[in-house]
Structure 1
Amino acid sequence: MVDTESAVSTMLDGLEGLPTNPPSLYCDLEGVNLSRYGSISIFQLHVLPRNRTYLIDIYTLQNKAFSTPSKSGRTLKDILECAATPKVFFDVRNDSDALHSHFGIALAGVQDLQLMELAARSSFSRRVVNGLARCIERDAPLSAAERRAWAAVKEAGLRLFAPERGGSYAVFNARPLPPAIRRYCAQDVLVLPRLWALYDRRMGAAWRARVLQASRERVAMSQAATYNPWGSDRALAPANW
């Protein structure tokens, strides 16, 4: 849990000199109505070469999470806006919307894993996109025991934050963060590198280029004044896919 400026600086020091292929950084966000209309509570960052997952406390730190520098002077905002540093998100749109609206962050270097799954399909239609849970259930290279553990953590988290389960998204702002929510926040981002490797193997160079272009387009679209975070068209694949 990264919830002080010194912890942010120490975390950033550990992000220097990381490899870019495969990507080293896998990202996700949680919040209350995560979008320009809500707020960000937690920024999850998994660092593959370090095998370490950070839960960055945006609710507590606010802009200091993004403006606090490392020893070299580099901030998290710098990393997120660096096109040469790949960052993997699953459906970047609302994450980008929230980051741009609340903290002025213009994401760059994004590889959208939802688009990678779409591009990697060979026997299914590319008309609509899949959610992360479906991708994990269908594709993630997990053992039976890992799948059971993943399902248990997911269910425990849903009971606390999902309104239809009697929970509230406000639990992401509870401090200290409940252990079940900490595990929930960490586990999905831990699976992203495995899915990235699987889908990357299934794509050729042409599809990789299309994914990167469509990822950039998603970021740009999320920053537009007309962007609707909950539009029904979000389930559709990019045009001509």
Structure 2
Amino acid sequence: MAQSQHTFVDTPEAVAMLLSLTPKEITSIPSIYIDLKGANLCRHGSISLLQLFISTIPHTYILDVHTLGQSAFTTPSLIDPLTTFKTILEEPSIPIVCYDIRSYNDALYHLYSVSISNVVDLQLYEVATRTGPRTLLNGLSRTTKIYSNLPLQEAQKWEQSKQRGAQLLNPKKGGNFEVFNDRPLPKEILDYCLQDVRQLPWLWQYFNQKLEKMDQRWKALIETETQARIALCREEYVAEGRQRALAPLSFRNFPSHIIKNS
């Protein structure tokens, strides 16, 4: 898996430059992949970082939401004053790929009045294309471990990077999610953030290829469940704990065969 360079974006001028490079063309392959980090990432918490991988360059940008605040989403592009990061995320024609939109959209909607419109949720792709039981959802780390075809040395490097970052976040080991707000960002946390967003392009390609060979009713199920996840941010009560780890009921009840309708 090829790695890209990265740029830390922490000024309005850098946001404007980033927006001038962000593609808005409609293509068959998504070009924008995002991941968010924060302390208690939801309507009651905060967003510290938004990692953005643009596959057409390819390059990874880390948007410093903690420092920029609202300007991360309202600063206009250098080449189009009507284009902001908010308008890109909310544009129905631009697919935004992520892994589990629920917490991201809840935080974006309530803290910054942003609601992603066209979501490709790879967590739903994974459980839909899974050949085993579809009872529980998998997190991004587990999904990466299961499906990755990384060479052994690179896989070990990825695992070590995740463990070092997780240790700084784990309260039981003296860590704290507020470390996402430390500046300069600790290298272990930077690597942790970059590793997550860089998994998304190849995961999309892998699951999309599997989905193309499946009963096409799965696409409709995924779209229905994705829209239901997007709408959660507008509900007064949002489920927590084990209930959030359950796969959608429609997925659990659907036949498991992977045969495409002719």
My pick for the range that moved more, 231-240 or 4-13, is 231-240
Does the CA contact (< 8 Å) of 1:81 and 1:107 recur in 2? Answer: yes
- Counterpart check, 1:86 vs 2:90: no
CA distance in structure 1 between the aligned counterparts of 2:195 and 2:28, rounded to whole angstroms: 22
User: Is the 1:82–1:109 contact (alpha carbons within 8 Å) kept by the matching residues of 2?
Assistant: yes
Query: Which of residues 237, 246, 250 is equivalent to 1:240?
Result: 250
From 217, 228, 237, the counterpart of 1:206: 217
Which deviates further from its counterpart, 69-78 or 219-228?
219-228
CA shift at 1:143, angstroms? 1.8
Question: Which residue number corresponds to residue 168 of structure 2?
Answer: 160
| Cα-to-partner distance string for 1:158-199 (whole Å, 9 max, x where unaligned) | 121121222111110001111111111111110111111111
What is the alpha-carbon distance in structure 2 between the residues aligned to residue 151 and residue 185 of structure 1? 13
How far the C-alpha of 1:223 sits from its partner, in A, is 2.6
Query: 2:139 maps to what in 1?
Result: 131
What value does the CA root-mean-square deviation take over the aligned residues?
Answer: 1.3
Trace 1:21-60 onto structure 2 (pairs within 5 A).
21-60=28-67
Q: Aligned with 1:40: secondary structure?
A: coil
The corresponding residue for 2:120 is 111
1:136-160 deviation line (CA, Å, top 9, x unaligned):
0010232212211111110111121
8 A Cα contact 1:2 1:8, kept in partner: yes
* Displacement over 4 Å in runs of 4+: none
Moved more, 200-209 or 40-49: 200-209
Q: Is the 8 A contact 1:116 1:200 kept in 2?
A: yes
CA contact (8 A) 1:111 1:211 kept: no
Residue-by-residue CA offset, 1:18-68 (whole Å, 9 max, x unaligned) = 453211111110001111111000001111111111110000000000000
Q: Aligned equivalents of 2:64 and 2:191: distance in 1? A: 14
Aligned equivalent of 1:61, options 68, 78, 83: 68
Q: CA deviation at 1:213?
A: 2.3
Q: Output the CA distance in 1 between the equivalents of 2:223 and 2:19.
A: 25
For the Cα contact (< 8 Å) 1:141–1:194, is it kept in 2? no
Tell me which amino acid in the other structure corresponds to 1:33. Answer: N
Identify if the C-alpha distance between structure 1 residues 109 and 149 changes in structure 2 by more than 3 Å, giving closer, same or farther. same
Q: SS of the residue aligned with 1:191?
A: helix
CA contact 2:23–2:31 (8 Å) conserved in 1: no
Contact 1:91 1:112 in 2 (8 A): yes
Pair 1:219 & 2:226 matched: no
Which region of structure 1 is more displaced relative to structure 2, 205-214 or 167-176? 205-214
Larger Rg: 2
TM-score normalised per structure 1: 0.95
TM-score using structure 2 length: 0.88
**Counterpart Cα distance in 2 of 1:140 and 1:217:** 29
CA distance in 2, matches of 1:18, 1:135: 29
Any idea what SS the aligned residue of 2:47 has? Answer: strand
CA distance in 2: counterparts of 1:41 and 1:186, whole angstroms: 14
SS of alignment partner, residue 56 of structure 1: strand
Change (3 A) 1:17 1:39: closer
SS at match of 2:208: helix
Q: Which amino acid aligns with 1:68?
A: T
Q: Residue 219 of structure 1 aligns to which amino acid in structure 2?
A: I
Structure 1: stretches of 5+ with no match in the other structure: none
The letter of the residue matching 2:39 is V
Show the counterpart of 1:197. Answer: 205
CA distance, structure 1, for counterparts of residue 24 and residue 88 of structure 2: 12
Identity across matched positions, percent:
39
* Partner Cα distance (1:58, 1:170) in 2: 13
